[in-house]
Amino acid sequence: MERPEQLGQETIDAAGKVVAVHLNYPSRAAQRGRTPAVPSYFLKPATSLALHRAELHRPRGVELLTVEGEVALVIGSRAHRISPEDAWQHVGAVTAANDAGLADLRWPDKGSNLRSKGVDGIAPIGPALLPAQELDPGALRVRMWINGELAQEDSTATLLFPFAQLVADLSRLMTLEPGDIILTGTPAGATVAQPGDLVEIEVDGTTSDGATLTTGRLANRVVESTHGLEPFGAMPRLTDADRIDAWGSAEAAGIAPAPAPDTRAASVLTPELAEKLRSVGTATLSVQLRKRGMQNCHIEGLTPTKPGAKVVGTARTLRYVPAREDLFTTHGGGYNAQKRAVDSLREGDILVMDARGEKGSGTLGDVLALRAQVLGAAAIITDGGIRDFGPVSGMDIPAWGANAHPAVLGRKHVPWAVDETIACGGAAVQPGDVIVGDEDGIVVIPPQLAEEVADDAVAQEREEAWVAERVAEGNPVHGLFPMNAEWRARYEAETSTSKASRLS
């Protein structure tokens, strides 16, 4: 059996191109709040590669050097328009990689990562090459340690896009040559390393005869570079969102303060009540509310990021006031009402925002939507604009907004108050109200009415299903919808008989 050989400079010299995958582990996708439908990639120059024990240089003026443990594939034979079934045989070797980067330089290049991950020597690989054809590509393990503390561990059994799919996909449009390298994505736990930190990454797997092969620990120490960046190009720039993304969480980045004690009353939404409300449409709920004199219970005029989504949750509220420069100075920055509202969400909450129907700026963006999703919120509703509409639409959490808009909050709004009675889309909403949304719209149910409205809505839809069956049989709707005394008697007789048979 072929055994691991040490990876040397010749491997780096043979790399004609280096292709990296953006997202490929479910654990990382959950952190980012989005799961891609297809793999996406970025190119790295071969000069970004480095060897075991090479130093990772953080230029002066750069705050965040990120580190990511990955499995690297080294192409062994030419691959052009190959199938996934044949793809793995074109992989010659597997090794460990650190797809490190400078988060401060991500901003000018967006997803291309050219400056942030194309720096000379930023991506060490090694120390050993494992023979790919002796390994199961779906049973490899990747781990990363920082100063001896385990930071990442995951298995390729969980991949969103198996290695064979990546190789075949890339070969559809570009020829993969021997020596090319594919960095296959990183799991949750990617973080920031500081000067002095020792970063170690290892990949191991089992052969068909039961032997364990390991790359050994790829070890690289982070050092503060003696040089900075000359000011004739993009310079380091960071936002709190960048810091949260680089560290993996607001807490790790040292941004989020300790949450205040939760003194709110418990939601009326028991699991049983929530299930009843999910089983009926908002049209039916609207009828039941109207029967109780509730005519103005609809949040109107909003567009969903996920058409067809069905949500049930408890209202939390956030109110904005019109932008005024002095008020934004005192209330718009720092840990403002908007951030406090999002940070205080709990599982099943729906954050409802009162933006006065003003569409001229965003009131929600991707970072806050991600935070709401991570906390287990059921949805976000605003009668203002949504920034980052594409990324927000790609998240699992549904949102409703008046429109997409690129402008920041301060153009039109000052975040003002949390958990007050507000207006949103023409409806009054109080904290604790029950919110139900589906493809017909959004209704607001006072909590004291939620149980009886749900019960009567279930009964109404059961009755309407019976009526629909009679119509399908060819009966005219006159006298049947709504039911006259004759049809009512038949319905009650049939349903009582059916119920009795179920109980017997």
Sequence-separated contacts (24+) of 389-393 with Cβ below 8 Å: 389/305, 391/34, 391/366, 392/305, 392/364, 392/365, 392/366, 393/305, 393/306
Distance from C-alpha of 78 to C-alpha of 236, rounded to nearest angstrom: 39
Distance from C-alpha of 454 to C-alpha of 284, rounded to nearest angstrom: 9
Low-confidence ranges of the chain (pLDDT < 50): 1, 503
Given a contact cutoff of 8 angstroms between Cβ atoms, the answer to whether 64 and 192 are in contact is yes
Q: What is the pLDDT of residue 1?
A: 42
Q: What is the pLDDT of residue 208?
A: 80
Tell me the per-residue pLDDT of 330-341, one tens digit each, with 9 for 90 and over. Answer: 888 878 999 999
Residue with tokens 């139900």: 436
Domain boundaries, the chain: 5-253, 271-451
Q: What is the pLDDT of residue 498?
A: 61
Q: What is the pLDDT of residue 312?
A: 98
Q: What is the pLDDT of residue 210?
A: 86
Which residues fall within 8 angstroms of residue 167, CB to CB, at 6 or more apart? 73, 75, 79, 82, 84, 87, 88, 90, 91, 176, 182
| CA–centroid distance for 304 within its chain | 17
Q: Count CB atoms within 10 A of the CB of residue 313.
A: 25
Tell me the per-residue pLDDT of 42-94, one tens digit each, with 9 for 90 and over. Answer: 999 999 999 999 999 999 999 999 999 999 999 999 999 999 999 999 999 99
Which residues fall within 8 angstroms of residue 112, CB to CB, at 6 or more apart? 42, 43
CATH of 5-253, one of 3.40.50.620, 3.90.850.10, 3.30.300.30, 3.20.20.80: 3.90.850.10
Please check whether the domain covering 271-451 is classified as CATH 3.40.630.30. Answer: no
